Amino acid sequence: MKIGILTIGNELTSGRIRDTNSAFIAEAVNRQGWQVSVIMSVGDEYTDIRKGLDYILDAADAAIVTGGLGPTADDITTEAIAKAYGLALYTDEAILKEVRSRLERFRVAWTPNNAKQAMFPEGAVPIYNPTGTAWGFALKRADKLIAVIPGVPREVMRMLPEGVIPLLKEMESGAGTAVVSRTVKLFGLSESKVDETVSGLDLRVEGLSIGFYPRFPENHLVLTVRAPSEEEARKTLSDVESKVEGALRKYIFGHDDDTVEGVVASLLTQKGLTLAVAESCTGGLIMDRITDVPGSSLFLERGYVVYSNKSKTDLLAVPAEVIDRYGAVSEETARLMAEGAVKKAGTDLGIGVTGIAGPTGGTEAKPVGTVYIALADRGRTTCRLFHFRGERRRVKEISAQWALEMLRRYLTGACPHD
Amino acid sequence: MKIGILTIGNELTSGRIRDTNSAFIAEAVNRQGWQVSVIMSVGDEYTDIRKGLDYILDAADAAIVTGGLGPTADDITTEAIAKAYGLALYTDEAILKEVRSRLERFRVAWTPNNAKQAMFPEGAVPIYNPTGTAWGFALKRADKLIAVIPGVPREVMRMLPEGVIPLLKEMESGAGTAVVSRTVKLFGLSESKVDETVSGLDLRVEGLSIGFYPRFPENHLVLTVRAPSEEEARKTLSDVESKVEGALRKYIFGHDDDTVEGVVASLLTQKGLTLAVAESCTGGLIMDRITDVPGSSLFLERGYVVYSNKSKTDLLAVPAEVIDRYGAVSEETARLMAEGAVKKAGTDLGIGVTGIAGPTGGTEAKPVGTVYIALADRGRTTCRLFHFRGERRRVKEISAQWALEMLRRYLTGACPHD
């Protein structure tokens, strides 16, 4: 099935807001094994909306439309679509009541223009909005479908999977095709190596499609299976997943909505272990990511950003002679930072990161991108040397990701101290 | 002048890559005082490219096209455009040589398909690519212009302003219209207040347009002036800017490419002052942002992420009795954290941040979003209490921004200790 996406709003054509809905919808559509034939954004103009919709319905089986459903004067999507097809508008009284009571609950004063949000073109079926006042709607034109939802990304994230995708699935097959999918998240293996490994597997399975999404510094594989029944689809997916996991296990840190910091947080909490982090070149980014996880105060005792040599000595007892002799960016310093974190904070585990993020500070022996990451428990310390490429922010990001990944591997016992 | 944007690539319609070029181009076009009538993405297909281009040239005066200019088999944009208009392709021998020597310099082996990058539809004028091998080109169709550049965002960021915008300017007016623009970056005032203030100014100036770009947690105003000569345009812009700055001075932290951390870094470096940061609820984010600025090691001595009560006492000498009596999230604790940072690190300035980022941990007296930010120098400490709304990450982000803004205001002497 081919789908076209139309996002509507002057804030998009003016560049005022970045259109994140299109990519989100495109990915979701592709996960169902469908294709996106065109993505389009137009302003809040009757003619532009009509022409854009005509273009899409000419090229695709269905249009997913976002934006312009609110109460203000420039929200004209519903009216524009009704006009385009010569349809009258009707008010759904039950929805009008729901909109009113929702506004009351949020203590927003009722104004007559809010009634627009309960109006639909005749023949349209309303689509429930679980997080906002503006309902969406679906309209059939001949054998094609137009699904319209609000443009607020938070609302799209709910209404697309809950309201729109089911309608498209229904439309696709009277006979019924089940689609299941699973995202496998990898880190530590290059794009081309992941690609090569997956290509090398025997995955000639009917109804399977594999999507590859590089999301720096991670790589995501999306496995989608279409089959006559959900049971069959799930079985095939599970077989495929086993093969993929067998080949790439070491690099898989999670699935679907997992983050590496979230996985690390769960493991630390489960095991009742505490952590202290000592960062130099990553400058606080590791801790920023860990503290994004609610409940991280349960295991994160404290952290140090030891930017100066003096602070490494004062706070972590890294001897000045070691720094003088081997350098602030050295395996010796990284190890002593991780060990100092464990000792000073009294935690079970410690991380120490030191490196050269650039753009200056590199030497021939230690060029920009040289980073040492050490992981210490109370008995042993491991340190890895990395040579990263790219500019300052990129070096910080991949260093933080590796620190978290080293923790994850240690905690899963997959590769103790590796 | 009306512009249409066409981005080409299967990686866009599959959702594999998020299209950041469209918003970048749309903003740049609007800054010139032109309008974007439609934004479109299609896959690497002859028919889709031709139909998309037809649609755009019907609606707009010019098309800006990105993507599909590389050496691989699915890069078909040049050929598709030539076919669409029945044009032959020619090879530019000088450009072919340039592409060859660039690949040699990067030690990339020459393969025949690289020659595609020096081929253009007859009548097209090549557009230089300063950062990559694939040149772009501009093609006139009747009174309309098609400008085609590669899809790599880094290359778009150079080729759009350097290669494409000048062509469009030239096309727009034989007489010559000068356009100048300036971005004013604000923080600490709501969207609606900024809007209200600007609307209240007497800015009835010919050729002026004002764009409003909310970029959470900042608000950006883009002032664009069109005039017959650059001199006139600059004079008008400067007058308008003075009025805007007069009304909003307190909230303006920078212009154009400035970031608040960059401004703070410059001020600290200029004044030879050093800084230590003590973060609780922001979890390292303030330091992460500061250390994104190259050279921040000159003034950032160290930082503490004091997540546990014990770490606040151990590292910053916040007395356990104070935490017991007033709470870890309190003005007293925030002040002592900032003062402790100054004393322990021996710096000129210290920041202390403590709050409840959520989603749990809130109480009736101190709900989620309650954040205390303290700034200490060696003589005095100021503390501000904030009540932020939104989820965990949002609270962290706006807290970090306020901490940096308090530093900025202190350092500019605009509002000492306010």
Mean pLDDT (whole number) for A296-324? 97
User: What's chain A's average pLDDT?
Assistant: 93
A283–B291 C-beta distance less than 8 A: yes
CA distance A235 to chain B (A): 25
B292 touching A, CB under 8 A?
Answer: yes
Asked if A360 is an interface residue toward chain B (Cβ–Cβ < 8 A), one would say: yes
Residue after which a domain boundary falls, among B220, B239, B255: B255
Put simply, the answer to whether A42 touches B38 (Cβ < 8 Å) is yes
Q: Name the residue in chain B with its Cα closest to that of A43.
A: B37
Cβ–Cβ below 8 Å for B305 and A305: yes
pLDDT at B8: 96
pLDDT at residue number B414: 67
- Asked if B307 and A292 come within 8 Å (Cβ–Cβ), the reply is no
Q: Is residue B72 part of a domain?
A: yes
Looking at chain A, the whole-number percentage of residues with pLDDT higher than 90 is 78
- Are both B227 and B290 inside the same structural domain? no
- Domain coverage including residue A378: 260-412
Question: 3-state SS of B221-269?
Answer: EEEEEEECCHHHHHHHHHHHHHHHHHHHHHHEEEECCCCHHHHHHHHHH
- In this structure, are B24 and B145 located in the same domain? yes
DSSP string, B150-219: ---HHHHHHHIIIIIHHHHHHHH-SS--EEEEEEEEE-SS-HHHHHHHHHTS----TTEEEEEEEETTEE
Give the burial class of B239: count Cβ atoms within 10 A of its Cβ; 0-12 exposed, 13-18 middle, 19 or more buried. Answer: middle
Distance CA B83, CA A169 (A): 37
Query: Are B213 and A16 in contact (CB < 8 Å)?
Result: yes
B residues 126..185 contacting A (CB < 8 A): none
Q: Decide if B308 touches A, using CB distance below 8 A.
A: yes
- pLDDT-derived band at A171 (thresholds 50, 70, 90) equals confident
For position A415, what pLDDT does the model report?
Answer: 56
Is the Cβ of A99 closer than 8 Å to some Cβ of chain B?
Answer: no
Is B286 an interface residue toward A (CB < 8 Å)? yes
Q: Please give the average per-residue pLDDT across A177-186, as a whole number.
A: 89
CATH of residue A154: 3.40.980.10
- Say if residue B244 is in the same domain as residue B355: no
pLDDT of residue B24: 94
Report pLDDT for B70: 87
pLDDT of B47-76, one tens digit each?
Answer: 999 999 999 999 999 999 999 998 888 899
Probe site for chain A from B7, B13, B286, B394 (most A CB atoms < 10 A): B13
Query: With 70 as the cut, is the pLDDT of residue B286 above it?
Result: yes
> Does residue A198 sit in the same domain as residue A159?
no
Decide the pairing of beta strands B62-66 and B370-376.
unpaired
One domain for residues B288 and B206: no
Q: Which of A8, A10, A215, A302 to mutate to test the interface with B (most CBs of B within 10 A)?
A: A302
Q: What is the 3-state secondary structure (H, E, C) of A124-183?
A: CEEECCCCCCCCEEEEEECCEEEEEECCCHHHHHHHHHHHHHHHHHHHHCCCCCEEEEEE
Contacts of B296 in chain A (CB under 8 A): 283, 307
Q: Say if A219 is an interface residue toward chain B (CB within 8 Å).
A: no
pLDDT at B135: 94
Q: Is B15 in contact with A37 (Cβ distance < 8 A)?
A: no
What is the number of residues in chain B?
418
In a domain, B133, yes or no: yes
Decide: A13 and A41 in contact? Cβ < 8 Å: yes
A201 located within any domain: yes
Q: Which of B40, B46, B68, B3 is nearest to A36 (CA)?
A: B40
Residues 6+ apart with CB under 8 A from B266: none
The more confidently predicted of residues B173 and A30 is A30
- What is the count of residue pairs from A and B with beta carbons less than 8 Å apart? 231
Under 8 Å CB-to-CB from B24, ≥6 apart: which residues? A15, B153, B156, B157, B160
Contact between A123 and A141 (Cβ < 8 Å): no
In total, how many domains does chain A have?
Answer: 3
Contact partners, residue A90, CB within 8 Å, separation at least 6:
A119, A120, A121, A122
Band of residue B415 on the pLDDT scale cut at 50, 70, 90: low
Cα separation, B418 vs B406, in Å, equals 7
CATH number assigned to the domain comprising residue B221: 3.30.70.2860
Q: If DSSP codes are grouped into helix, strand and coil, which group holds residue B368? A: coil
Find residues 31-50 of chain A whose CB sits inside 8 Å of chain B.
35-43, 48
Last residue of a domain, one of B123, B155, B172: B172
Terminal CA-to-CA distance of chain A, rounded, Å? 46
Task: Give a yes or no: residue A417 inside a domain.
Answer: no
Distance CA B268, CA B250 (A): 19
Last residue of a domain, one of B239, B255, B271: B255
Same-domain pairing of B187 and B129: no
Query: Is B22 an interface residue toward A (CB < 8 Å)?
Result: yes
Mutate to test the interface with B, among A37, A224, A311, A396 (most CBs of B within 10 A): A311
**In the structure encoding, which two tokens stand for residue A190, read together?**
């290059």
Q: Which pLDDT score, from 0 to 100, does residue A165 have?
A: 95
Lowest mean pLDDT among A375-389, B190-204, B271-285: B190-204
**Mean pLDDT computed over every residue of chain B:** 93
In a domain, A299, yes or no: yes
**Residues of B with CB below 8 A from A30's CB?**
14-15
B17-47: per-residue pLDDT in tens?
Answer: 889 999 999 999 988 889 999 999 999 999 9
The 10s digit of each residue's pLDDT in B127-143 is 999 988 899 999 999 88
Single-letter residue type at B399: S
Same domain, B251 and B264: no
What CA–CA distance (Å, rounded) separates A62 from A79? 19
* Closest-approach residue (CA) in chain B for A34: B14
Within this chain, do residues B244 and B389 fall inside the same structural domain, yes or no? no
Instruction: Evaluate if residue A416 carries a pLDDT over 70.
Output: no
Asked if the Cβ–Cβ distance from A19 to B28 is below 8 Å, we say no
Predicted complex ipTM exceeds 0.90: no
Does residue A142 register a pLDDT over 70?
yes
Token readout for A171 is: 């439309």
Residue A418 has pLDDT above 80, yes or no: no
Q: Which residue in this structure is represented by tokens 């800006």?
A: B64
Cβ-based contacts of A314 with chain B (< 8 Å): 302, 344
pLDDT tens digit sequence for A210-242: 888 888 899 999 898 988 888 999 999 999 999
Query: What is the value of pTM for the model shown?
Result: 0.85
Q: Hey, is B124 helix, strand or coil?
A: coil
Torsions phi, psi for B107 (to 5 deg): 55, 40
What local confidence, expressed as pLDDT, does residue B174 receive?
56
**Is residue A308 less than 8 Å (CB to CB) from chain B?**
yes
Tally Cβ neighbours within 10 Å of residue A142: 6
Residue B141 is given by DSSP the state E
Whether residue B220 lies inside any domain: the answer is yes
B52 vs A: CB within 8 A: yes
Given a cut of 80, is residue A365 above it in pLDDT? yes
Q: What is the pLDDT of residue B138?
A: 97
B272 shares a domain with B227: no
Q: Is the distance from CB of A387 to CB of A376 less than 8 angstroms?
A: no
Residue B417 domain flag: no
Same domain for A148 and A236, yes or no, is no
Residue B325 has pLDDT above 80, yes or no: yes
* Owner of token pair 């880190």: A187
Tokens of A113: 């223009």
Of B13, B290, B300, the CB nearest to A26: B13
Q: How far apart are CA B331 and CA B375, in angstroms?
A: 11
3-state secondary structure chain A: CEEEEEEECHHHHCCCCCCCHHHHHHHHHHHCCCEEEEEEEECCCHHHHHHHHHHHHHHCCEEEEECCCCCCCCCCHHHHHHHHCCCCEEECHHHHHHHHHHHHHCCCCCCHHHHHHHEEECCCEEECCCCCCCCEEEEEECCEEEEEECCCHHHHHHHHHHHHHHHHHHHHCCCCCEEEEEEEEECCCCHHHHHHHHHHCCCCCCCEEEEEEEECCEEEEEEEEEECCHHHHHHHHHHHHHHHHHHHHHHEEEECCCCHHHHHHHHHHHHCCCEEEEECCCCCHHHHHHCCCCCHHHCEEEEEECCCHHHHHHHHCCCHHHHHHHCCCCHHHHHHHHHHHHHHHCCCEEEEEEECCCCCCCCCCCCCCEEEEEEECCCCEEEEEEECCCCHHHHHHHHHHHHHHHHHHHHHCCCCCC
CATH number, position B370: 3.90.950.20
Q: What are phi and psi of A302, to 5 degrees?
A: -170, 175
Interface check B317 vs A, CB under 8 A:
no
Rounded to a whole number of angstroms, the distance between the first and last alpha carbons of chain B is 46
Interface check for B279 against chain A (CB to CB < 8 A): the answer is: yes
If you ran DSSP here, which 8-state letter would residue B43 be given? -
Tell me, what's the pLDDT at A87? 96
Q: Report pLDDT for B190.
A: 87
Q: How confident is the model at residue A390 (pLDDT cuts 50, 70, 90)?
A: confident
**B168 and B195, same structural domain?**
no
Bond from prior residue into A71 cis (ω within 30 degrees of 0)? no
A380 lies in some domain: yes
Residues A356-373 have a mean pLDDT of 95
Is A26 in contact with B20 (Cβ distance < 8 A)?
no
A52 touches chain B (CB under 8 A): yes
Of B202 and A395, the one with more pLDDT: A395
B311 touches chain A (CB under 8 A): yes
3-state SS class at B3: strand
User: Would you place residue B331 in the very low, low, confident or very high pLDDT band (cuts 50, 70, 90)?
Assistant: very high
Please give the pLDDT value at position B33: 82
| Nearest one of B215, B218, B235, B217 to B226, comparing CA atoms | B235
| Tens digit of each residue's pLDDT (9 = 90 or more) over A192-210 | 889 889 989 988 888 898 8
Residues B54, B6 share a domain: yes
